[in-house]
Amino acid sequence: MSIELAKKVAWTILLQKGNDFNQTRHQVKGFYARGRPICDKEMLDEVKALPPIHTMIHNHTMIPTFEDKFADWISENMFNNIKGLENYQPDISQGATQSFDSFYIKHGHKKIKMFFGEYLYHIVVRQKLNMPYDFITSYDELQEGDALVLSVPFCDTGNLDFDLDKIFKHCDMMNIPVLLDCAYFPIAYNIEIDLNYECIDTVCFSLSKLFPIAHARVGMRYTKKGFEDGQKLHSNINYDNRISAGIGLHFINKFRSDYVVEKYILAHKKFVKAFGLKPSNTILFADGDDTWIEYGRHDILKAYGLEDDWKQYHNRLCFTELYENLSIAEEVINVYN
């Protein structure tokens, strides 16, 4: 009944948007599959209220202002705790992605390791560039000469799926640099991260899953103090993208880093219960059992040529469409419950 209810909600929302039978049928399968930010009225209003481009592009203090403000903004999150960020230096990043690329360059001679279910970008890039990578199921498979990419919360579930302390201690011991992808951190709750480990090389955040500004590619990278690379060079000479910094600054001035979680956490719990899903610490997501296979990311994996591995992935379901159509989604659920 639960998946039935989820389908009914999806059909009703898509038809209410003005789609016809065929359009709705086509979109239903992707309804819960993607992972994109919520475009609600309050946040879209702020997109419309962004400062004019000329005020951003000619503002020489835009980048340092954004970089300075970001650490406090992310640390003041009332649902999550991140310790030790003050020991790292910030650079604005084009989404989290630029930080990934910088990490690949820095550790070009190493084999990138990741847990099954990690962000598909890493896999696709490594495959396309014919660069070494491998999946692991346990941290003790990591050895010298590896570099670890790890999303926290984890990309495949939105949860803190691993014992970070054990992983970092092992990586410290084996001299394995770690990239911590915290893109989901501001859309999650009950996440504790301690950055006080030698192995943590890069920590990156993104506003792309939090605010409806994904195409502005606003992110922040943290590296150990004193580290220099191309990304840091441009930060040092104030030659970064001031438009994305201005957009990011506007949003972090308007909304707390826990704004989305606070606003939608009750709805998240309601949908998880109504659909009989396993909750995720990331409020955009929930985890479905095998009956949900066709509504998870199977098609996306297929598009990336990763269909052979799809059984290794969770059926991660995304609630963004539900939050954007909250009243009708709740109304449908109330009718059937």
Partner 1 sequence: MSTIKLKFKNINSVNNKAPQMAVHVNSKELYKGLVLEQHVIDVDLQEQNILKIYFINKEDPDTVIQDGKIVNDLNFELENITLDKHDIQDLIWKGQYVSKDNVIPSCLFFGPRGYFELHFEYPILKWILKTNHEDHNDDPTWEQDYNYYIEACQLLNKIQKK
Least distance in angstroms from the C-beta of 177 to partner 1: 48
Contact criterion met (CB below 8 Å) for 185 and 150 = no
The count of residues interacting with partner 1 (CB under 8 A) is 15
Under rule CB under 8 A, residue 24 binds partner 1: yes
Contact region with partner 1 (CB under 8 A), list: 59-67, 98-106, 229-237, 329-337: 329-337
Under rule CB under 8 A, residue 86 binds partner 1: no
| Cα 289 to the center of its chain, rounded Å | 22
Under rule CB under 8 A, residue 60 binds partner 1: no
The DSSP string of 228-297 is: --HHHHHHHTT-S-HHHHHHHHHHHHHS-TTHHHHHHHHHHHHHHHHHTPEE-SBTTEEEE-GGGGGGTT
Contact region with partner 1 (CB under 8 A), list: 9-17, 176-184, 233-241, 308-316: 9-17
Under rule CB under 8 A, residue 1 binds partner 1: no
Please tell me the distance from the alpha carbon of residue 141 to that of residue 282, in angstroms, as a whole number.
27
Under rule CB under 8 A, residue 11 binds partner 1: yes
Under rule CB under 8 A, residue 173 binds partner 1: no
One residue of 3, 8, 111, 198 binding partner 1 per CB under 8 A: 8
Residue 129 DSSP label: T
Coil, helix or strand at residue 336: helix
Under rule CB under 8 A, residue 21 binds partner 1: yes
Contact region with partner 1 (CB under 8 A), list: 23-31, 107-115, 121-129, 276-284: 23-31
Q: What is the largest CA-CA distance in the chain?
A: 59
Under rule CB under 8 A, residue 335 binds partner 1: yes
Would you mind telling me the total number of residues written for the chain in this entry? Answer: 337
Whichever of 8 and 69 has its CB closer to partner 1, that residue is 8
One residue of 96, 149, 247, 332 binding partner 1 per CB under 8 A: 332
Burial zone of 263 (CB within 10 Å; 0-12 exposed, 13-18 middle, 19+ buried): middle
Whichever of 9 and 112 has its CB closer to partner 1, that residue is 9
Least distance in angstroms from the C-beta of 149 to partner 1: 38
Judge if the upstream peptide bond of residue 153 is cis by omega within 30 degrees of 0. Answer: yes
Under rule CB under 8 A, residue 326 binds partner 1: no
Contact criterion met (CB below 8 Å) for 43 and 211 = yes
Please tell me the distance from the alpha carbon of residue 68 to that of residue 82, in angstroms, as a whole number.
16
Quick note: the x/- pattern for partner 1 over 209-248, rule CB under 8 A, is ----------------------------------------
Contact criterion met (CB below 8 Å) for 117 and 249 = no
Under rule CB under 8 A, residue 41 binds partner 1: no
Q: Which residues bind partner 1 (CB under 8 A)?
A: 7-8, 11-12, 15-16, 20-21, 24-25, 28, 328, 331-332, 335
